[in-house]
Chain A
């Protein structure tokens, strides 16, 4: 989960350089996010990118836990589903 964060940081720096319009971050989670959580995510992403970022959250129980953030073509997946799938791929190899 922590490994995904530096990826997000580099992604946001690229987004901030390329951004001309408002950017939307799609956040997916297993449970509905509270207003505070959404606001915190929006603030954090805006501060990290230095650009205004809107947040749209959706509920997807299949992610099991954690959040998945998608901005344009970039995805930062911190969900449990991603962790479980990574572990399964490692075990398969």
Chain B
């Protein structure tokens, strides 16, 4: 060792120092760093697990969302079908009411026309009779001579006498 220029006592002291430093480093630095690393690793692991869990939850939610969307689509289709059926039913009812109303209107119009016809017939007959009366009066006025008038009066007096 001397030949190498190494002082044994110094060397030993160096070794001791080194050992002390190693112990100190191990106690003060290595263990806390290792703990920190372990904690970080644990945190990362937890994060990964949480991520996986979230991924699972997200997938579940996606599944639920798809299911809800499908249900909503089916419900929507059902509603549309029902609405169509109801509209068809109402259309039938409306058509029936409209047909009934139109029938009533036609019946009423026919009745009014019949009444009008009766009224017009009556009016025409009245006018025709009035005209006939006037014509008869005029004809009689022209035809009846004084002689004929006296003849009629005499005839009527004979009728009177005959009932005595």
What is the 8 Å Cβ interface bit string for chain A, positions 1-42, against chain B (1 contact, 0 not)? 110011011000000000000000000011101100100110
Assuming the A-B contacts A88-B132, A91-B129, A92-B125, are A66 and B164 also in contact, with contact meaning beta carbons closer than 8 angstroms in the complex? no
B163 touches A88 (CB 8 A): no
> B61 in the interface, Cβ–Cβ < 8 Å?
no
State the CA gap A6–B164 with chains docked (Å).
10
Which range contains the number of B residues in contact with the other chain? 20 to 34
Interface of A, secondary structure class, is helix
- Find B153's partner among A8, A37, A85, A92 (CB 8 Å cutoff): A37
Known: A31-B150, A66-B152. A84 touches B137 (CB 8 A): yes
- A contact residues, range: 20 to 34
Given A84-B133, A88-B129, A88-B132, A8:B140 Cβ within 8 A: no
What is B's interface to A at a CB cutoff of 8 Å? 125-126, 129-130, 132-133, 136-137, 140-141, 144, 146, 148-150, 152-154, 156-157, 159-164
